Amino acid sequence: MNTLIVYAHPEPRSLNGSLKDLAVSTLEAAGHEVRVSDLYAMGWKAVADAADYGPHADSPLRVARDSGRAFEAGDLTPDVRAEQEKLLWADTVVFQFPLWWYTMPAILKGWVDRVFTHRFAYGVGEHSETRYGDRFGEGVLAGRRALLSVTIGGAQTHYSDRGVNGPIDDLLFPINHGILYYPGLEPLPPFVVHGADRLTADGYADVAKAWEQRLLTLDSTEPIPFRGQNSGDYEMPALRLRPGLEPAGRTGFGLHVRG
């Protein structure tokens, strides 16, 4: 198995740094190939702008069109091309980051904004009245798995079904479904550590054991059963879920999970 770890934390001696190191050693010891994109160490450029698209940056700039043209011509910047190549190499992509303001740190969002270009991650496949592109279950990255490994300062109850922050599965839906499933990745249930700022040595030992267990069962873990956009479950071209497919009482983001 080839695993890419995309890691976003400014401090190597952090909980996130430890979990990233443990993922590398655990997977390598099990005979897997691992590559790491350590965004802070790489000095990753977080801001998408005209400089990303070389001669294809038109005036006025149009991000989707111009990024797609640069992608198709092989003219994206070397840092972005390298990340796209790593994604195509990987069978599994692990994202290791702290939840900052209920989502990923800016440097990781900037990795998405710059690497997930038009024609690579969106604007792929036939767009018509009966088919709205290869996305949500299809796309360039189909056949690969993804896993969010997230550290959170707050307690688990604050992120429970009735918790003040909202349910963690809903907070991560725009990432798991909107960013990862969109270009074809199959997201696994996330690995979440709560109370990250107050973790004791004993607490870390438990977390490490649970993380190793997840890493060693990546192959056999069932992905979140999101509905395929072109599976027949959605009206075309409105892309609304057909009536009656969901369990009674299911609403919101949960509609897009089967069963």
DSSP 56: G
> Rounded distance, CA 171 to CA 156, Å?
13
Candidate list 164, 200, 202, 209; residue touching a copy of itself; CB under 8 A: 164
237: cis peptide before it, omega within 30°? yes
Contact with a copy of itself (CB under 8 A): which of 73, 205, 239, 247?
239
Exactly one of 81, 131, 158, 258 binds a copy of itself (CB under 8 A); which one? 158
Q: How far is CA 204 from CA 94, 156, 195, 207, 258, in A?
A: 20, 16, 11, 5, 34
- Asked if omega into 60 is within 30° of 0 (cis), the reply is yes
Of residues 39, 167, 47, 163, the one with CA closest to residue 110: 47
CA 192 to chain centre: 14
- Binding status of residue 55 toward a copy of itself by CB under 8 A: no
Backbone conformation region of residue 31, classed left if phi is above 0, alpha if psi is from -120 to 50, else beta: left
Q: Which residue has the tokens 């990250």?
A: 196
**At its nearest, how many Å lie between a copy of itself and the CB of residue 191?**
19
Q: Which stretch binds a copy of itself (CB under 8 A): 28-36, 69-77, 169-177, 205-213?
A: 169-177
Sequence-distant (≥ 6) Cβ neighbours of residue 31 within 8 angstroms = none
Relative to beta strand 2-7, strand 92-98 is parallel
Measured from the CB atom, is 150 or 218 closer to a copy of itself?
150
Give me the least distance between CB of 113 and a copy of itself, in Å please: 5
Q: Which run of H or of E encompasses 245?
A: none
Tokens 């004791």 belong to residue:
200
Residue window 8-27: x/- pattern of binding to a copy of itself, with contact defined by CB under 8 A: --xxxxx-------------
Instruction: Select from 54, 163, 189, 195 the one that contacts a copy of itself (CB under 8 A).
Output: 163
Please state the closest distance from residue 96 (CB atom) to a copy of itself, in A. 15
Cβ nearer to a copy of itself, comparing 134 with 214: 134
Residue of 35, 41, 127, 160 interacting with a copy of itself (CB under 8 A): 160
Q: Provide, rounded to whole angstroms, the least separation between the CB of residue 103 and a copy of itself.
A: 6
Among 51, 3, 48, which residue's Cα sits nearest to residue 23?
3
Give the range of 19-27, 143-151, 209-217, 229-237 binding a copy of itself by CB under 8 A: 229-237
- Interaction site with a copy of itself (CB under 8 A): 10-14, 40, 44, 46-50, 60-64, 98, 100-107, 109-110, 112-113, 116, 136, 153, 155, 157-158, 160-167, 170-171, 173-174, 177-179, 182, 197, 229, 234, 237-241, 249, 251-256
